[in-house]
Chain A
């Protein structure tokens, strides 16, 4: 009895072991492509990698982080890069994610491109500077009824270099059958606090990432993000600046303003923030306090639906209607806008009518 059980177990163990060894050996021999060269952006960077793994992971091994939320399964389509030569045929997994324009421009999902030979590819320059960070959520603070602030302490790498106004991609983790996704959030902390990243997140009903942040993410939990990305930042000119934001559009401006205070940038600046009523306002005291520290700065919160009988002494009405009272002529101004596309479009129109020049408009639109 015992002998036959032993025989059965032994036989199975030996058989599976043999097959496993055979497969490992076969993989080494058959799928060995030797060293391959990755030529990035016309010779700007050249990497030698061991062939056989995906382009995404080969690049990541060399500290070039292409955004990817699904971990290389080919289901998020964030990891698109231009593969100019050596990428092979478009595979059936990536095909549904590529538009006809993508295919024309040789855009591929880098997680589905296997490095089998030398590859020539093109990636946006900012990705060279972006990194993937592992950090820990140290603080989750409620700002308003639908807004939270996350403070993340960076562990690996330990510090981030960014310009105030740039954004990061936050990776949500799988929960309740929802896939991991990546969502962009502007950094609300200041560049000198380079061991931390803060973001402001507004709850989107049914939003995959925001639901994760609001209902699942706990203080002390590990979080992953990559960045910095984006070119929304304060220009080097000394031109007077008008900032406009609504909701979580506060984040980059909050970072820019406090960065100005640190650098002693005393350019003329005025900040219009849009909310429906007083419940939508946050950082109000801090922003009015900034008026004292930045000599030429003023903060103008504008409420559109505030109860007419309330104690609110500030502006009532939409920003495009309030703005001319403060700035009759916007010709000399630079405008920095962050918020929903409705808000931005309306404000840009109003300011253009008063002389704002197209090249001086900078915005970060939420889709």
Chain B
């Protein structure tokens, strides 16, 4: 397969998006963002709510962090500060988004409100920004990568939420209820996602 970064711009953006969402699913292949998955995936609608918030935040913060890295950290030779700088940028951005959402739409704020602070400490978001550094992407491709990774995460948590809705936890052995069975579900799902691997290389 060709290097996705070298294709024409639209095709490369689409390829990056799809590969980030499926073959390289951040939740199911890298096991990032697990804490929120275990906590919030009891229902499909809350899962989708958190998923939507994550898509938005990964897209924007990967772009922001790309710019910060490229135009601040690299020229100043401070690349080793990337971890802490990215965290600060993500936290500030999430706070800012929370305020804007609160002002613009109370309905959206109520739907996303409790998830936004959760996202600040979601390692998947930081993961996306850090993985982006290892790629030769330009800004547009980085945004596609962020959006794809977020979409993949949202997709995975929505599926897990759906499965958990169907599971009758009363029928499970005591120790398996809750996080136990969720981890097993995630494990089986990630086996399924192995099927995608190698389809596209990024």
**Chain A residues, CB < 8 A from B72:** 11
- Are A92 and B114 interface neighbours, CB within 8 A? yes
Could you give, for residues 5-32 of chain A, a 1 whenever the CB lies within 8 Å of some chain B CB and a 0 otherwise? 0011001100110011011001100110
A91 within 8 A of B: yes
**Chain B residues, CB < 8 A from A7:** 76, 78
**Chain B residues, CB < 8 A from A88:** 106
A91-B113 in contact given A7-B78, A12-B85, A16-B88 (Cβ < 8 Å): yes
**Chain A residues, CB < 8 A from B81:** 8, 11-12
Residue A89 contacts which of B95, B100, B110 (CB distance < 8 angstroms)? B110
**Chain A residues, CB < 8 A from B89:** 19
Q: What's the Cα separation between A18 and B92 when bound, in Å?
A: 10
Nearest residue in A to B73 (C-beta to C-beta)? A11
- Are B76 and A92 interface neighbours, CB within 8 A? no
Minimum CB–CB distance for A52 against chain B, Å:
10
Count class of interface residues, chain B: 20 to 34
Within 8 A of A (CB), among B102-116: 102-103, 106-107, 110, 113-114
Q: What's the Cα separation between A12 and B89 when bound, in Å?
A: 11
- Are A31 and B78 interface neighbours, CB within 8 A? no
- Are B88 and A15 interface neighbours, CB within 8 A? yes
A105 within 8 A of B: no
A89-B88 in contact given A7-B78, A8-B78 (Cβ < 8 Å): no
Minimum CB–CB distance for B88 against chain A, Å:
6
Residue B96 contacts which of A23, A91, A116 (CB distance < 8 angstroms)? A23
**Chain B residues, CB < 8 A from A27:** 99
**Chain A residues, CB < 8 A from B114:** 92-93
Could you give, for residues 66-107 of chain A, a 1 whenever the CB lies within 8 Å of some chain B CB and a 0 otherwise? 000000000000000000000011011100000000000000
- Are B107 and A92 interface neighbours, CB within 8 A? no
B1 within 8 A of A: no
- Are A30 and B110 interface neighbours, CB within 8 A? no
B84 within 8 A of A: yes
**Chain A residues, CB < 8 A from B88:** 12, 15-16, 19
**Chain B residues, CB < 8 A from A8:** 78, 81
- Are B110 and A22 interface neighbours, CB within 8 A? no
A92-B110 in contact given A16-B88, A23-B92, A27-B99 (Cβ < 8 Å): yes
**Chain B residues, CB < 8 A from A93:** 114
- Are A30 and B85 interface neighbours, CB within 8 A? no
Nearest residue in A to B49 (C-beta to C-beta)? A92
**Chain B residues, CB < 8 A from A11:** 72, 76, 78, 81
Minimum CB–CB distance for A41 against chain B, Å:
26
**Chain B residues, CB < 8 A from A92:** 110, 113-114
Nearest residue in B to A27 (C-beta to C-beta)? B99
Q: What's the Cα separation between A194 and B110 when bound, in Å?
A: 45
Q: What's the Cα separation between A26 and B106 when bound, in Å?
A: 18
* 10 residue pairs from A and B, CB less than 8 Å apart: A7-B78, A8-B78, A12-B85, A23-B95, A27-B99, A30-B103, A91-B110, A91-B113, A93-B114, A116-B106
- Contacts from B to A (Cβ < 8 Å): 72, 76-78, 81, 84-85, 88-89, 92, 95-96, 99-100, 102-103, 106-107, 110, 113-114
Supplied contacts A12-B84, A19-B89, 19 more A-B pairs, CB within 8 Å: A7-B76, A11-B72, A11-B78, A11-B81, A15-B85, A16-B88, A19-B88, A22-B92, A23-B95, A26-B99, A30-B99, A30-B102, A30-B103, A31-B99, A31-B103, A92-B110, A92-B113, A92-B114, A93-B114
